Amino acid sequence: MELFTVNQETCNRDGICAAVCPIGIIAWRQGELPAPAPGAEQACIRCGHCVAVCPTASLRHRDMPLETCPPVRPELRLGPEQCAHFIRARRSIRTYKERPVEHEKLAQLIDMAHYAPSGINSQGAHWLVIGNREHLHRLSGMVVEWMGWVLAEMPELARGMHVQQTIEQWHAGRDVILRGAPVLIVAHADKEHRMAASTCTIALTTLELAATSLGLGGCWAGYFNAAATVFPPLQAALDLPEGHQCFGAMMIGYPKFAYHRLPTRKTPPIDWRM
C-alpha cells in the first residue's frame, strides 16, 4: 500500500494538505489530485497534518488510519478568556493530600502529555512513574547526599541553590526535595538525541497543565533533576535504559489546598519589531 491514498471522488483538489506538510512530501498542482512526492516514504515524519487538515476526509495515510483520528469538536475549544484563566490559575503544588493517585489517571495524564510537540514529530520522551512512598523517600535522601557533596566541593553553587538550608530542613524531618508527593513522573530520553531535552521539557510542561483537568497538581522537581543528571548513585537507583538520561521530573498528587485568586506577574519585556 502507498504511503497515502486520495479519494478522487471527494477530494477538493485544493492542495491544502500539500501546503501544511512540514516536510513538503506531497506533490500537488492546481486542479490535480495530491500524490506522494519522490522520497516521501523515507521523509514522512508521520505527524498527521495531512489527515487532520483535509476538510473532506479524502486523504488516508497508511500509518495513521482515519478511524483513529476523531474530528475536532469546536464546542470544546477554549476561548481567549477561558485560556487566560486556565493558564493563570495554574499553580506549582507543593503540599499534597495523603490520597494515592489512581493508576488510570496517571496513564490518562501521560496519554495527554505525549501529544506535545517534539520536533519533527520525534516523540522521543519516555516515562518512569514512581509511586512507592518509601522508594521516593530514599530518592530524596540520595539528592540530599549529593547536596552534601556540592556544599563541600562547590560552595558558590551551593549558596545559589540554598543547599545548606535544604539539608538542614531534611535533617529536621521536612522533605523539600519531593515534598511528600505520592508520585514522581520522570521524563527521560536518549541523551544523544539532539532534541531530547526540549522534547522532555515540553512534554512535562504539557503534563503539568493537563494535571489540573484530572483534579491533580504538579511541581517541577528541580533538585531531583539536577542530581539525576550527575550523581551516579541516583542514576543507578533510577535504572533508566542504556544511554538514557533524566531530562525532567514532576511531582504529582492531589492538592491539599485550593487556590482562590490569580496572582500577578511582572510585565513581560517585549522588543516589538513589526
Average pLDDT over every residue of 154-168: 95
The C-alpha cell at 204 is 512535562
Q: Using 50, 70 and 90 to split pLDDT, how confident is the model at 1?
A: confident
Eight-state DSSP code of residue 75: G
Residue 131 in contact with residue 180, Cβ under 8 Å?
no
- Read off the pLDDT of residues 216-246 as tens digits, 9 standing for 90 and up: 999 999 999 999 999 999 999 999 999 999 9
CA distance 26 to 19: 8
Eight-state DSSP code of residue 257: S
Q: What are phi and psi of 80, to 5 degrees?
A: -55, -45
Q: Is the pTM of this model over 0.85?
A: yes
Give the rounded percent of residues in the chain with a pLDDT score beyond 70: 100
Q: Residue with C-alpha cell 521530573?
A: 249
- Read off the pLDDT of residues 42-97 as tens digits, 9 standing for 90 and up: 999 999 999 999 999 999 999 999 999 999 999 999 999 999 999 999 999 999 99
CA 42-124-243 angle, to 5 degrees, is: 110
CA distance 15 to 29: 7
Average pLDDT over every residue of 189-214: 97
| Residue 18: partners with Cβ closer than 8 Å, 6 or more residues away | 24, 26, 27, 28, 34
- Read off the pLDDT of residues 99-109 as tens digits, 9 standing for 90 and up: 999 999 999 99
